[in-house]
Amino acid sequence: MPEWKVAGLYLVTALAEIVGCYLPWLWLRQGASAWLLVPAAASLALFAWLLTLHPAAAGRVYAAYGGVYVAVALAWLWLVDGIRPTAWDMAGVAVTLAGMAIIAFAPRAG
């Protein structure tokens, strides 16, 4: 699978997990409707299924996925929560994405 498709798959996977966790958060912390648990469960099921589509071994996918999750979570912080990430947040994202790229895109033998 081309690297850009793998990166896109990581992005969509992270969005599915964040939505699946954010909706129960709205219910528990903001008093939103319990009906949000239905799309939350669907989103988390989608997240689990998307993880199976990654071409690498499961452990490597989970390790690399963590970096993408951090980046998407901070984008969510900005776009949904309306809180602009700090320079330290951005430095942390750079470090985690560098680690993700090393894990996900390093040359592998056979």
For the chain, the average pLDDT equals 92
Domain that residue 92 falls in: 3-105
Asked if residue 26 belongs to a domain, the reply is: yes
- Mind giving me the DSSP string for the chain? --HHHHHHHHHHHHHHHHHHHHHHHHHHHH---GGGHHHHHHHHHHHHHHHHHSSS-HHHHHHHHHHHHHHHHHHHHHHTS--PPPHHHHHHHHHHHHHHHHHHHS----
Asked if residue 110 belongs to a domain, the reply is: no
Asked if residue 42 belongs to a domain, the reply is: yes
**pLDDT, position 107:** 87
Domain count, the chain: 1
Asked if residue 75 belongs to a domain, the reply is: yes
Asked if residue 97 belongs to a domain, the reply is: yes
**pLDDT, position 25:** 96
Q: What is the pLDDT of residues 38-82, one digit of tens each?
A: 999 999 999 999 999 988 888 888 888 888 899 999 999 999 999
Asked if residue 7 belongs to a domain, the reply is: yes
